[in-house]
Structure 1
């Protein structure tokens, strides 16, 4: 029986998101998709090749946000990952934005 303390490895897209958050960066979904496309570029890929990664980036960011590994923000304010629209940024969780439930 596997130990509950061992975490399964992250999806490569999720790992790229986490890596891009180092140093306090706040990328958008598009920024992450463009970075993945650049890293995986083939000579025949066009300038819009990043769009094929956008759905995967969004799905992985939502997964990580729902698990508390990161936050989605709009205009610098943390937003609900289950109900948002518009251009959002991704950041590491900020203690000041968390609401006490006491």
Structure 2
């Protein structure tokens, strides 16, 4: 099931302009529009794993957050291309 969440994250982010982000709720709704609340708990661990691997940035208040310590409302975006290289 985490592969489905990961695919939804990158599908949604791929449709956005660089630097834009998605919420965990948007990802959960993309996985299962009717049962998205059941999927919501699966989004965070997948996002944390992707952030640890450098494939995703977790943000709070528009700024990168430590994937090990963040709390509260958060979003996801792709890494800046300048940081990748």
Of 57, 60, 64, the residue aligned with 2:43 is 57
Cα deviations by residue, 1:21-72 (Å, 9 ceiling, x for unpaired): 112341111111112112xx4xxxxxxx211001111111111111000000
Task: Give the unaligned 5+ runs of structure 1.
Answer: 1-9, 42-48
Q: 1:11 corresponds to which residue? A: 3
- Which residues in structure 2 correspond to 1:38-77 (within 5 Å)? 38=33, 41=34, 49-77=35-63
Distance 2:8 2:31 in 1: 8
Match of 1:91 in 2: 77
RMSD: 1.7
Count of matched residue pairs: 79
TM-score where L is the length of structure 2: 0.81
Deviant stretches of 4+, over 4 Å = none
Larger Rg: 1
Distance across 2 between alignment mates of 1:82 and 1:67: 12
TM-score by length of 1: 0.69
